[in-house]
Amino acid sequence: MDLLDFLPFKNEFNKAYHGLTDNANQTSENPVFDELKVRRFARPLSQTTNFIVEKIEHWIGWDLRSKKTSVGGMTMIRAEVSSFALLGTKIAVTFGLTEEIDRNGQPITTINSKAETEIASKGDLGESRRVIRMMLSALDFEFRKALVRDDEYLFRSLDPKGQILNFQEQFDKNDTQNKPAEKKKKTAKQAIPFKASSKSNGTSEKNSPPQQPETSTNPVATSEKSSPGNKPSRSKVKVITLKK
């Protein structure tokens, strides 16, 4: 036994630590918190799927995004939850359900879940864990007589270790690769240039005729520009003297 188990309020300290450092939570076989334990019920897949979808559609702040069956027979249910504690911050939650037949020919449905808060900070005050716990608690109450414990599952399943590994890998793969593009790209705003029109003598530049470039009317200057090598001849000056 670990000496830390004797510390008072250990679970409360762990919840506070993870709430301030994590913004995503996922169920597993050996979780830190008991509420994040993978659930198994001796019920058909369709029955548990319909129950989850019905709760998402009726709960306030929950919005169903998609429901589909992926490769391998796993049913993926995606929803978006508005957190009241985080002032309406969205939490993306995913439920993965798969069904197997036990030794007695009875169905066993395994439910895995993952929730992630769309927040820039590191912690979400445990809101992602609360969303998962809310749905799993509803399942525990609805199918309380059909809950399959770990020791019972090891006895009833034909391949418990293989089923656990395959289900976890399949759930992680579908959750990372097949996420729907729910966020729409923001359209870039087109900047319209502003041209100020200067006014002179009560008339604007738009009404004034276009100005033509000035041309030189001096033939000498034009000849000099056309033939720079030929210098122009100087004009002769006649001097007139008067005889006394």
Query: Is the overall model pTM greater than 0.75, yes or no?
Result: no
Q: Dmax over Cα atoms in the chain, in whole Å?
A: 156
> Which residue, 211, 56, 40, is CA-closest to 131?
56
For each of the domains in the chain, give its residue range(s) and CATH number, in order of start: 23-177 (3.40.1000)
How far, CA to CA in Å, does 117 sit from each of 13, 114, 137, 184? 21, 10, 20, 18
| Cα(113)–Cα(171) distance, integer angstroms | 9
User: 54-111: per-residue pLDDT in tens?
Assistant: 999 999 999 999 999 987 789 999 999 998 888 889 999 999 999 999 999 999 999 9
Neighbour count for residue 117 (Cβ, 10 Å): 26
104 residue type, one letter: N
Q: What is the pLDDT, as a whole number, of residue 222?
A: 45
Mean pLDDT, residues 184-211 taken together: 49
Strand partners, 97: 75, 111
User: What is the mean pLDDT of the segment spanning 181-193?
Assistant: 47
Contact 112, 94 (CB under 8 A): no
CB 135: neighbour CB atoms within 10 A?
Answer: 24
Sign for the CA dihedral angle at 34, 38, 43, 46 comes to positive
> Which pLDDT belongs to residue 19?
63
Q: Tell me: the pLDDT tens digits for 144-164?
A: 999 999 999 999 999 999 989
Helices marked H in 79-180 — which ranges?
127-142, 150-156, 160-177
Amino acid found at 201 = N
DSSP tag of 146:
G
Q: Where are the beta strands (DSSP E) in the chain?
A: 24-26, 39-41, 62-69, 75-83, 89-101, 107-117, 199-200, 203-204
